[in-house]
Amino acid sequence: MHEYGFQEKRSALLKLSHELGREDCPFAILGEGNVSARISEDTFLVKASGSTLATLQEQDLVQCNMKVLLPLLDKTDLTDADMETSLLACRTDSKSKKPSIETLFHVYLLTLPKIEFVAHTHPLAVNQILCSPLARAFAERRLFPDQIVYCGIASVFVPHTEPGLTLAQAIRRETKSFIKNYQDPPKTVLLENHGLIALGTTVQAVLAATLMTEKAAKTLVGAACLGGPKFLDEESARRIARRPDEKYRQRLVES
């Protein structure tokens, strides 16, 4: 596993943001999307509210205290005003900008084993599927081997939920179920009628999962026009996921 210092990790997060925000990649426009990185046992960096991935700068990254935010995931009566207060209170520097409203799901995902970076985007082809009846099938099944290598044997699927606390809680619930089933944290989370979350040890792993999910989505959209998709069967998918050569390729983007 690559060991990052603070400066290197911040630079890596900015590079990831700029890659995902490129105009020729239909992943995020205007203020869409957000990124985060774990800094220490108790702190992480996250994109500030209102900033854009393509132009993100150091001052647009907010360092937050995980211990302030994690208890909120167990709340059932958090108001919008409470959320606003908590987002401001979690900052390690009171002069920094306000964190994104989706900071709550970032803080949870960054507690998972081997997860150092998280990126949330709204890729065009992915959202075409997530806004269709094929959304769950796209999350739970695979079309080709490279999708398994870089996106995992399956994705967490989260039914449509409003952004904020309820979405973070739904992501936690579905992710815990996924880990119980597959004994590993996911590489991708798909949010119905919303977008994609990619997570991993390195920025290369997160970028690869994002790019490959968009490729898979384009493949599925095309297959749907040609009589319907033909997914890999579960046995084949699990065999591909266990193959030493495929494990080797996974390690290359995780180191």
Q: If you ran DSSP here, which 8-state letter would residue 231 be given?
A: P
Query: Could you give the angle at the alpha carbon of 187 between the alpha carbons of 27 and 244, nearest 5°?
Result: 125
Q: What is the pLDDT of residue 3?
A: 64
Q: Which residues are paired to 200 by β-bridges? A: 117
| Residue 17: Cβ within 10 Å count | 25
Considering the segment(s) 6-253 as one domain, its CATH architecture is: 3-Layer(aba) Sandwich (3.40)
| Residue 48: Cβ within 10 Å count | 20
| pTM reported for the whole predicted model | 0.95
* Contact (CB, 8 A) for 156 and 187: no
| Residue 128: Cβ within 10 Å count | 16
Q: What is the pLDDT of residue 95?
A: 94
Nearest CA among 57, 22, 41 for reference residue 116:
41
Q: If you ran DSSP here, which 8-state letter would residue 102 be given?
A: T
Report the alpha-carbon distance of residue 118 to residue 115 in Å, rounded: 8
* Contact (CB, 8 A) for 123 and 33: no
Q: What is the pLDDT of residue 98?
A: 95
The pLDDT tens digits along the chain (255 residues) read 456 789 999 999 999 999 999 989 889 988 899 999 999 999 999 999 999 999 999 999 999 999 999 999 999 888 889 999 999 999 999 999 999 989 999 999 999 999 999 999 999 999 999 999 999 999 999 999 999 999 999 999 999 999 899 999 999 999 999 999 999 999 999 999 999 999 999 999 999 999 999 999 999 999 999 999 999 999 999 999 888 888 888 888 887
Q: What is the pLDDT of residue 77?
A: 86
Q: Alpha-carbon Rg of the chain, whole angstroms?
A: 18
Report the alpha-carbon distance of residue 171 to residue 120 in Å, rounded: 13
Nearest CA among 74, 109, 113 for reference residue 197:
109
Q: What is the pLDDT of residue 2?
A: 57
Residue 157, token pair as written in the block: 């699927």
Nearest CA among 160, 163, 156, 150 for reference residue 216:
150
* Contact (CB, 8 A) for 196 and 210: yes
